[in-house]
Every structure is written in C-alpha cells, then in structure tokens.
Amino acid sequence: MAETAPMSGRKAQAARNDKLILEAARAVFVADPSAPIAAVAERAGVGISALYRRYPSKEDLLRKLASDGLRLYISVAEAALADEGDPWESFARFMHGIVDADTNAITRNLAGMFKPDEGLYQDAMRAYELNVRIMERTRAAEVIRPGVEIADLALIAEQLSAIKLGDEERSRELRRRYLTLILDSLRNPPATSPLPGPAPTDEELSRRWG
C-alpha cells in the first residue's frame, strides 16, 4: 500500500510528529491563545526539543498556525464561490464552512502575538477579495437582508468563535445553532430553519464555573 509509510524508523516518527505537533498546537492555542509552549508538547506527547527542532521560536509556530488558518479560510471561500447553485444556499454554506473550521480562533485570536509575514498580507488581501465577491453575488441575487455589510460577516464569525463549551465538537454544534438563528435573520425574506443540535443545558453552563 503506497500510503503505508514504514511504521518504525526515526524518519517516520519525525513525519508523524510533524502532524502531531501541529494538531496539538492548534488545539491548545484555540482553547487558550496564551498557553505556554510546554502545554503543546505535553498534548502532542513529545518533548519540548521536538518543537524547537521544527520551529525556531514560539512566534514562528504561531505564525505558521495563523498562516494555515488563513489558507483554510481562503479554500472555504473559493469553494463557496465555485458553487453555482442557489445563491442563498451557497452563501449559507460559506458561513457554515468558516464557522465550522473555526478559522477565527487561529487568526484573529492570535493576532498581536507574532509579527505578520509578507505572505500573510498577501493571503489576507486574497481573503478579503473573496469576501467581496461572495457578498456581491449574494447581494445581486437579493437574498440577503439590506443593510448588511461585509464586515458584519467577520464580526458574526468572531462572535460565534467565542462560544467554548465543553468539547470541541459540542462547541461546533452550538455554534451551528446560533449561526442558524442569525442566518434566518440575515436571509431575505427571513426564514425559520430547524435549529440543529440540542440547546445547551444548565449543567453544561454551570460546569465551567468550577
């Protein structure tokens, strides 16, 4: 099988660690943007030196994460633009896509913790341009509530990414719930879609106070 890299061997372990570290870093910094780098190592199940072998400093790691997150955002936006179906459904899928991917958590929330890169600027401009085109197309179809601007979408995504309740998966589910509410309100004419997933329970809310 072409996919099966030899399970043993230092090189194979290194390749696996590459992914382990990036995934751990993403998870840790999404949960707490100011987390110490030791927390990333622990979560990845590796030593600290495995991190420093790959990234010269914490700042470089953060920049890498933000860069990946921005590129993910771009790919979601491009997929949405390629979708030539119903304009509203296409727009809604775009919003669901960026909220599900939670790209805000690793771009906006990490801002200020690293010095932006030239490539980051390029990607940011590209992302903005895609935003404009999606918005223009949706407006042209007259399926979005008048008065809603591009920047509104960014702030809505940012609000939703602030929901952190329990599990990462449960958080996503709840974000979908409130995104559904907002989208119903953004749609022209307004709609009433079924709310996905169960409402939060009082127990879920109060557990965080410990």
Partner DNA sequence: GCAGAACAGAAGAGTATGTTCCGTCTTTCC
Partner DNA sequence: GGAAAGACGGAACATACTCTTCTGTTCTGC
Closest CB to DNA among 1 and 7? 7
Minimum distance of its own copies from residue 64's CB (angstroms): 18
Q: Work out whether 125 is an interface residue with its own copies (CB under 8 A).
A: no
Contact 55, 61 (CB under 8 A): yes
What stretches of the chain show up as alpha helix (H) in DSSP? Answer: 10-31, 37-44, 48-54, 58-82, 87-101, 103-106, 118-140, 150-161, 168-186, 202-207
**Residue 115 binding partner per list DNA, its own copies, none, with a CB distance cut-off of 5 to 8 Å that depends on partner kind:** none
- Smallest CA-to-CA distance from 160 within 114, 111, 96, 207 is with 96
Beta carbon of residue 29, minimum distance to DNA (angstroms, whole number): 10
How many Cα neighbours within 13 Å face the side chain of 162? Answer: 5
Name the nearest CA neighbour of 81 among 138, 32, 157: 138
Residue 5 binds to DNA (criterion: CB under 7 A): no
Q: Single out the residue of 152, 64, 160, 171 nearest to residue 104, CA to CA.
A: 160
Name which position in 31, 33, 52, 141 contacts DNA (CB under 7 A).
52
Asked whether position 23 contacts DNA by CB under 7 A, the answer is no
Q: Is 52 in the site for its own copies (CB under 8 A)?
A: no
Residue 157 has a CB neighbour count (10 Å cut-off) of 21
Contact region with DNA (CB under 7 A), list: 30-38, 91-99, 136-144, 146-154: 30-38
* Of 41-49, 137-145, 182-190, 201-209: span binding DNA (CB under 7 A): 41-49
Query: With contacts defined by CB under 8 A, how many residues of the chain interact with its own copies?
Result: 42
Q: Hey, is 187 helix, strand or coil?
A: strand
Nearer to its own copies, 17 or 103 (CB): 103
Q: Which is nearer to DNA, 63 or 96 (CB)?
A: 63
The 10 Å Cβ neighbour count of residue 1 is 4
**Rounded Cα distance, 42 and 28, in Å:** 10
Of residues 26 through 45, those in contact with its own copies by CB under 8 A are none
From the list its own copies, DNA, none, pick the one residue 10 interacts with, judged by a Cβ distance below 5 to 8 Å according to partner type: DNA
Task: Return the one option of DNA, its own copies, none that residue 46 interacts with (CB less than 5 to 8 A, by type).
Answer: DNA
Among 151, 167, 168, 207, binds its own copies (CB under 8 A): 151
